[in-house]
Amino acid sequence: MPRFDCPAIAASEITPRHAYLNRRNFMAGAAGLIGGALAAPSLLSAAPLKAASSPFSTNEKPTDKQYATTYNNYYEFGTGKDDPAANAGSLTTSPWTVKVDGLVNNPADYQLEDFIKPSKLEDRVYRHRCVEAWSMVIPWVGFPLSDIIKRADPKASAKYVAFETLMRPEEMPGLKSFLPVLDWPYREGLRMDEAMNPLTILAVGMYGETLPNQNGAPLRLVVPWKYGFKGAKSIVRISFVDKEPPTAWNLQAPSEYGFYSNVNPERDHPRWSQATEQVIGGGLFSARKDTLMFNGYGEQVAGLYTGMDLQKYY
Amino acid sequence: MRKPITNRTPAWVNKFPWYAVYIIGLLPAMWVFYMAFSNQLGGNPVRTLEHTLGIWALRFIIIGLMVTPLRKLAGINLLRFRRAFGLIAFYYAALHFSVYAVLDQGLAMDRIINDIIKRPYIIAGMVAFVILIALAMTSNSFSIKKLGGKGWSRLHKLVYLAAASAALHFVLSVKSWPNEPLIYAGIIAVLLGYRLVDPIKKRMSHSAALS
């Protein structure tokens, strides 16, 4: 069994932990329990995860979990902030395969469990800044993306890492919208040095439990110094490539969403300011907060962009 | 000549008290403020409040623009309520702007002014709002007398520009092209398109009658 698999859950514990899940999800979880130990971990929604603490965590107070799991952008489930929580319950996250391919010596198709097993899970409490000028603090559970890169053993020609996420219209109502909101499937990418940075993680959980579907279950990217949309959700493929890969929002509006998309209060979105952010969960009277360069992670990542004009490479 | 319009206005509509329109029209505002102050608007209550008030302004602009086509095409006369529809749209726009200025921007004037001069979607919203202010201020019988029926009508045709700007404001405020703003923009485009087509049709039927 993988490290993050859940131990048997006492019946008395189920209701409170699942209180925020919708009925369908709950029923799926209950069915999994009835099925016994055969059930895959992701079917047991919100299974607890054991993880070590990390020096990269901020000691800011995490956003109320209720908000982090109900105020989401996951356009495959609809463009409204509450759509993902309402619609993602139907997503099947088990079985789940992750393809690692491209310019690597060890390409492979992994079952999720095998993909995660060699890594040591860590708690990473990160600031999360959305391009829409709001922010949260999220306690992720995950492991460095560099684990995966080392295992894949990229060839010298591999310069970028590309991520492709699940496109399954029968479970994702947002993919059936009248006008496609994005050029599906959702794709993201990082430069190799960004991908290798110790801050960059693949998350399998948040708030000490497996990821809720609306937050990108079962596996998502988290790059805390970039705008939230860089964090591809429900990843099915990781490819190593020699050229800057196409990315979903950049394809949609290249003048608004660059490949880098580093949090930068001095480079406004063409249509709105990025100088400040609304703090989610702060309530009706909370003041906007000043946005920090690289979302406050400059010490760890500013060196990646030495000599680059960040107004041009936004 | 076109056929005269048969009046199909239901009797209860004719008897409906105009002040009740204000009460019903402002119920959504009361509801959303109640939800906001009782902390039931979720993680981003400021934006939800702002958005809800803006949507209702747009809805009442649309309802106001439907009065004429409803009368001409369906024979239902709601002219009696049009001032209320317009004023309710203005109240929602004023609340929407106030929430933006006070709760969202915390009355930081430098930021607000910067937004108003720099951001196309805010400029579009402000154009709509300024027009609604002017129309609200001249929505009384005194102004109609002062400006004369023709002049007043001409001034109040600015509501077309307000409607188009408000729709643009909504479309430009979101990422990509989600359905909701496009649906509102589509409805407004149809209602404004009707104003373009109707006089042409009238002229055509008039010249047909002459020949």
Range of the domain at B78: 16-210
Distances (CA, A) of B115 to B120, B167, B181: 9, 18, 21
Length of chain A: 314
Q: How many degrees, rounded to 5, is the angle at CA A147 between CA A41 and CA A56?
A: 90
The β-bridge relationship of strands A276-279 and A160-165 is: unpaired
Residue A134 to residue B42, Cβ atoms within 8 A: no
Q: What is the pLDDT of residue B79?
A: 95
- Say if residues A56 and A36 touch (Cβ distance below 8 Å): no
H/E element holding A116?
Answer: helix A112-116
What residues of B are in contact with residue A66 (Cβ under 8 Å)? Answer: 43
Report the distance separating Cα B118 and Cα A268, nearest Å.
11
Interface of B with A in 48-67 (CB under 8 A): 49
Say if the Cβ atoms of B43 and A71 lie within 8 Å: yes
The minimal CB distance from A280 to the residues B37, B43, B177 is found for B43
Contact between chains at B177 and A179 (C-beta distance less than 8 A): yes
Q: In 10 A of CB B123, how many CB atoms?
A: 17
Spell out the domains of chain A, with CATH numbers in brackets: 48-305 (3.90.420.10)
Q: How far is residue B47 from each of residues A136, A285, B28, measured CA to CA in Å?
A: 15, 12, 16
Closest Cβ–Cβ partner in A64, A271, A276 for B119? A271
Contacts of B119 in chain A (CB under 8 A): 271-273
Query: B172 touching A, CB under 8 A?
Result: yes
Helix (H, G, I), strand (E, B) or coil at A287: coil
Q: What integer pLDDT is reported at residue A34 of this predicted model?
A: 36
Q: Quick check: A200 and A144 in contact, CB under 8 A?
A: yes
Nearest CA in chain A to B111: A273
Q: Does B6 touch chain A (CB under 8 A)?
A: no
CA distance B179 to chain A (A): 7
What whole-number distance in Å separates Cα of residue B130 and Cα of residue A80? Answer: 29
Residue B10 domain flag: no
Min distance A131 CA to chain B CA atoms (Å): 10
Instruction: Identify the closest residue of chain B to A175 by CA–CA distance.
Output: B178
Query: A217 and A162 in contact (C-beta within 8 Å)?
Result: no
Could you tell me if residue B149 is inside a domain? yes
Domains: count for chain B: 1
The answer to whether the CB of A104 falls within 8 A of the CB of A155 is yes
Is B117 among the domain residues?
Answer: yes
pLDDT at B203: 82
State the pLDDT at residue B204: 82
Q: Least CB-CB distance to A70: which of B43, B172, B177?
A: B43
CA distance A167 to A91: 11
A71–B44: do the CB atoms touch at under 8 Å?
A: yes
Report the pLDDT value the prediction gives residue B205, as an integer from 0 to 100: 79
Structure token digits, residue B98 = 């106030």
Per DSSP, the three-state class of A125 is strand
pLDDT at position A8 is 54
Instruction: Dump the DSSP string for chain B.
Output: -PPPPP----HHHHHS-HHHHHHHHHHHHHHHHHHHHTT-S-S-HHHHHHHHHHHHHHHHHHHHHHHHHIIIII----GGGHHHHHHHHHHHHHHHHHIIIIIISTT-HHHHHHHHHH-HHHHHHHHHHHHHHHHHHT-SHHHHHHHHHHHHHHHHTHHHHHHHHHHHHHHHTSSS--HHHHHHHHHHHHHHHHHHHHHHHHHHHHHHHH-
User: Is B176 close to A253, i.e. CB distance below 8 A?
Assistant: yes
Q: Left if phi > 0, otherwise alpha if psi is -120 to 50, otherwise beta: which for A160?
A: beta
All residue ranges of chain A with pLDDT < 50 are 1-3, 7, 11-44
User: Any chain A CB within 8 A of the CB of B110?
Assistant: no
* CB atoms A81 and B177 under 8 Å: no
The answer to whether the CB atoms of B178 and A131 lie below 8 A apart is no
**Burial of B114 from C-beta contacts in 10 A (0-12 / 13-18 / 19+):** middle
Which of A71, A75, A179 minimises the CB distance to B42? A71
Q: Answer yes or no: are the C-beta atoms of A143 and A200 closer than 8 Å.
A: no
pLDDT at A83: 96
Residue B180 at interface with chain A, using a CB cutoff of 8 Å: yes
Rounded mean pLDDT for each run of 10 residues along chain B, 211 residues in total: 78 95 98 97 96 98 97 95 98 98 95 93 97 97 94 97 98 92 97 92 76 60
Asked, for residue B64, whether it belongs to a domain, the answer is yes
Confidence at residue A264, expressed as pLDDT on a 0 to 100 scale:
98
Strand-pair partners of A201: A144, A222
Q: C-alpha distances in angstroms, A12 versus A134, A142, A147, A196?
A: 37, 28, 37, 42
Model confidence over A143-185: pLDDT tens digits?
999 999 999 999 999 999 999 999 999 999 999 887 889 999 9
Q: Say if B95 falls within a structural domain.
A: yes
What's the confidence (pLDDT) of residue B1? 52
The mean predicted confidence, pLDDT, of chain A is 89
Q: Does some domain include residue B108?
A: yes
CA distance A147 to A202: 10
Which residue of chain B is at minimal alpha-carbon distance from A252? B176
The tens digit of pLDDT for each residue in A18-60 reads: 444 444 444 444 433 433 333 344 444 688 999 999 999 999 9
- Answer yes or no: is B3 within a domain: no
A172/B64 Cα distance (integer angstroms): 37
Residue whose token pair is 């930021």: B111
Q: Look at residue A194 and give its three-state secondary structure.
A: helix
pLDDT for A1: 40
Burial class of residue A298 in the structure, from the number of CB atoms within 10 Å of its CB (0-12 exposed, 13-18 middle, 19+ buried)? middle
Whether B1 is covered by a domain: the verdict is: no
Q: What tokens does B103 get? A: 């709760």
Please count the residue pairs, one from chain A and one from chain B, whose beta carbons lie less than 8 angstroms apart: 77
